[in-house]
Amino acid sequence: MYSKGKYGMKQMIGENRVISQDGYIRLTPEAMVDVQLKHMISGLDQEENESRNGGTSRTRITGYTEWVSNDIPYISLGWDWELDVISERLGYVRTGEARSNIMMINSHYIDIGRRDTREILGSIIDVTDWKIVVHQYVTERYRYL
Partner 1 sequence: MRLVSNWSENFLQNQYKRLAEYRHQVFVERLGWEDLRSESGLEMDQFDRNDTIYIVAEEDDGHIVGCARLLPTTKPYLLGEVFPQLYNGLNPPCSPDVWELSRFAALDINKRNVSSSQVSSPIARQLLEESISCAVAQGAKRLITVSPLGIERLLLRSGFNSHRAGPPVIISGHPTFACWIDLE
Residues contacting 102, CB < 8 A, separation 6+: 24, 25, 26, 27, 32, 75, 77, 117, 121
CB of 68 to partner 1, least distance (A): 5
In this structure, the strands spanning 92-100 and 2-5 are unpaired
Which residues inside 104-123 make contact with partner 1, applying CB under 8 A?
114
Tell whether residue 22 is a contact of partner 1 (CB under 8 A): yes
Is residue 140 near partner 1 by the rule CB under 8 A? no
CA pseudo-torsion sign 29, 128, 49, 75:
negative
Contact set for partner 1, span 52-91 (CB under 8 A): 64, 66, 68, 72-74, 76, 78, 80
Given 6, 15, 30, 46, the residue binding partner 1 (CB under 8 A): 46
Residue 65 near residue 42 (C-beta atoms within 8 A): yes
What phi-psi label fits residue 96: left (phi over 0), alpha (psi between -120 and 50 degrees) or beta?
left
Number of residues forming the site for partner 1 (CB under 8 A): 30
In the complex, the smallest distance separating the C-beta of residue 4 from partner 1, rounded to whole angstroms, is 14
CA 85 to chain CA centroid, Å, is 22
3-class DSSP state of 87: coil
Taking the least distance from each CB to partner 1, the nearer of 21 and 87 is 21
Nearer to partner 1, 94 or 114 (CB): 114
- Least gap, CB of 116 to partner 1 (angstroms): 14
Q: Which helix (H) or strand (E) holds 77?
A: strand 76-84
Which chain residues interact with partner 1 by CB under 8 A?
10, 12, 19, 21-25, 40-41, 43, 46-47, 51, 64, 66, 68, 72-74, 76, 78, 80, 96-97, 99-101, 103, 114
